[in-house]
Structures are given as C-alpha cells and as structure tokens.
Amino acid sequence: MTTVSLRLRSVLEAQEETLLAPYATLSRDATRRHPLDATNPEEDFRTQFARDRDRILHARAFRRLKHKTQVYVPHTADHPRTRLTHTLEVAQLARTMARALGLNEDLTEAIALGHDLGHTPFGHSGEKVLARILAGKEPSCPLPASVVGEVGTFKHNYHSLRVVDLLEQRYPTPGLNLTDPVREGILKHTSWNPDLPFPLPDREGLRLHQPCHLEGQVVALADEIAQQTHDLEDGLANEAVSLSAVEPLGLVAQAIEILGDRYRQERSAFRRAAALQRTLIHLLVTDAVRHTARQLGELAATFGLGDRASWQRFWAASPRELVAFSPHMQPLFAELKAFIYQFIINHQEVNLQDHRAQLVLTGLFRAYYSNPLTLPPYVLLRFSEVSGRPYLRDLPHGQAQEEVTTHYHPDPRFVRILVDHLAGMSDRFALSEFEKLYHPTVGSW
C-alpha cells in the first residue's frame, strides 16, 4: 500500500524556503495584529498567506463586489466587468507575474483578492463623492466645521484596510486579522500618503514610509494592466470607441504586428478585439516581468546579493520600487491610458454614472444624517457601541431628535460610521435604498 505524505503547513513552509527566490516574502516570517486560535498541527494544511486568502474569499465585503461598478454599470447587461471580475483578473495576472519572478503566490493572491474591498458603489465616482462630503465641500450635505476638522477623508485603498482590520465581524477580534504583509499590500496597491488624515484602526505593521514588498508591487502593476486592458475591451464592446480608432496606438500596433494575418483576416470584430486584448496583456506582463528580473539581477550583481539573508539585510536598509515597465514600454502604456481616459472613462454613459453617484450617495447621506432612525439597526448599534450613547430606538418618543442634535451631529465618529455604511453598499442596494427614501411606491411601503 502506498503511503501518502500530507503537505502540512510545516512542509509547505519548508518548500517555500527551497522553491521561492531569495527576495520573496516567506509566510513563516509573517506577523499578525492578534494571535490566531490554536490549530492542531496535524490538521493545518495552509500557510499564513493561504489562510489570509481564504479569509478574504469568505468575507461579506468580497461577496458584495459582484454588484459594484468597475466602469460600466454592471446590472444593465451581462458582460461589463464588475468590481469582482476585475479583482479576479488582477489575481490571475498577479499570480502569473509572481510565479515567473519566484515570489510568494499565496501572498500575491491574497493581496489581489482584498485590494478593492473598500471600493464604494458606482466605482471611483462614489469614492470622490464621499471624499467631498467629508471635506465639507458638498453643499447638499453640510457638516459642522468641527466635524470636518476631525473626521478625515476617504480613499478606497485606506478603506479596504479599514474593512479587513475593523468592519468585517467574523472572528473574536475585529476585522479579518490578516497578516501584516497582506495588510500592507492592500493599502499600497495604489498611491498612499503616510500623513493622509484617514482613521486607520491600526498603523502597526504597514511600513508606511517604505515601498511595498515585491509581491505587493506586483499586485499594484497587475491592477493597472487589468484595468486598462479590460476598460478597453468593455469600451469596444459598448461601442464607445471603434477598433479603427484604437489601431494607430503604438502598443496596439505592436500587438497587431505580432498577430499578423490572424488579426487582419479575421472577419469578426469581436474576435479581433479579444485577440487584441490578450496580446496587449501578454506584451505588458512580459515586459514587466523581464524588466523587473533585469533590475533584480543588477542589484544582486552590484551588492553581492546571493542568499536570502543578504537580500533581507539589503531590503531592510534600502527598499526599492522595482516592479515596473521598461523605459520602452512606459510611454506606450501612458498613451494607451490617456486614450482610454479620453474616449471611454470620459464617455457620456460613464459620466451619467458619475451623476448618478452624486445624486444617490448625497441623497442617502443627507437622509441618514438628518434622521438617523432611517438607518438599519446594526448601524445605530455600532454608534452606540463606540460612543457609549443610548441606542437611539430605545429612547422615549420625542427625545430622539434632541439626542441626534446634541450627540450625533457633533460627533465625527457618527459621520465616519455613515460613510462606512455607504461605502459598503453595492450599486443595487444603494439605488434600492434611494428609491425607498425619495420615490416611495405602494410596494416599498
């Protein structure tokens, strides 16, 4: 009888030591903010980062991504990307790049799956609306100057961290209790400012004044690649632009040259667009992997970095931004990105979405702020918990408005909790709540 040797966590960690590049992040070195519940070593089949990936996959915030807009409104047709499909595409590209470079795939995947958990309904439009409200620049939602001075701003990567550190409630401790390298990668998947006035629950372990580790840098670039290429494909499918308008772009011309007659003789515009998108992804991923490998090789040769210990000492003293396109590719990608912004992101249909985000989110905030009794019980209970004030629905009739005026409106924690609630909504839920509040029908009553 053949004996099957189980790959326990200890075995997987030993394999990481052997198989991963010396500059990769090892799961055995990962720290968490809170201890995990004790696990039987004979039943532990996951590395620290694999456990984080699974915690993210099972989170409520992850499920809500399926009804959140990427660029085009997802519930008007079957095929535009949603925030969830975008996330899955980023994870696929990031794992490919991480594998090619010898990096930690579990860490890379966990970051990719969690990077957009803090996105608002209506895409980046919703993010801008919430930031404007908190800054006191939205006339329809005036806030006291004292609240504006304390409440902070809104940025989706910071809010993603707030989701995994505080808002998810599945474990004995707040949030998902992810490892610090995953938390850091989620925050740093796009630009960050160590001094941004945002109420992060815990800044420890984020290395706010340093570049992200290589796995996080891979996710950041994979996010850019996925975003631009699928925005282009969605724009073509939505007829915001035509293939003939796209073909003169430098990077697109390179892709067509590679495809040759397979592209030129293809009669189906849909198949031509599909071939173009996958070839663009191939060009961008290949360029990034090769250029990053060259930079790593040059560092190794210059500083004599041969083993894991020497790389760790080097990163501790001199962390670098290394995962990037080559100098040849950078202007080609910038041209593609500018084209997509001008003709797709700035298209009428997308601008209608911007207007909808403004209308719905300001309307919801105004209703909830002026009359908190319109909020779900769990939101009011959360404010009661953090402020120590009585649960609003427990107060005798007539005292609620005095409580709101005296203790809710002057408290920046109440405004932040409102923003947490709004940011967590899917597009469909936000539209449904807006309809109930502003356009009630017999059914909604």
Q: What is residue 403's predicted lDDT score, i.e. its pLDDT?
A: 93
The pLDDT, as a whole number, for residue 18 is: 94
pLDDT of residue 120: 93
- pLDDT score, position 415: 97
Give me the DSSP letters along 354-408: HHHHHHHHHHHHHHHHH-GGGS-HHHHHHHHHHH-PPPGGGSPTTTHHHHIIIII
**Residue entry with tokens 């499909």:** 85
Report d(CA 303, CA 311) in Å as an integer: 9
Q: What is the pLDDT of residue 168?
A: 95
> How much is the pLDDT for 1?
64
Given a contact cutoff of 8 angstroms between Cβ atoms, the answer to whether 158 and 187 are in contact is yes
The answer to whether the CB of 288 falls within 8 A of the CB of 325 is: yes
pLDDT at 109: 98
pLDDT of residue 242: 87
Q: Is the dihedral of CA 168, 111, 32, 208 positive or negative?
A: negative
What are the boundaries of each domain within the chain? Answer: 241-344, 348-438
pTM more than 0.85: yes
Structure tokens, 175: 């949030």
Contact in structure between 117 and 187 (CB atoms under 8 Å)? no
List phi, psi (to 5°) of 82. Answer: -105, 175
pLDDT recorded at residue 65:
93
Neighbouring CB atoms inside 10 A of 2's CB total: 3
Chain mean position to CA 411: 28
Q: Would you state the structure tokens that stand for residue 429, as one six-digit string?
A: 């839920």
Q: For position 73, what pLDDT does the model report?
A: 52
Q: What was the pLDDT predicted at 71? A: 60
Q: How far is CA 60 from CA 70, 164, 346, in A?
A: 18, 11, 32
- Asked whether 295 and 322 are in contact (CB, 8 A), the reply is yes
Give tens-digit pLDDT for 330-352: 999 999 999 988 888 776 666 67
CA–CA distance from 71 to each of 74, 123, 187, 248, 404 (Å)?
8, 7, 21, 24, 37
Residue stretches of the chain with pLDDT short of 50: none
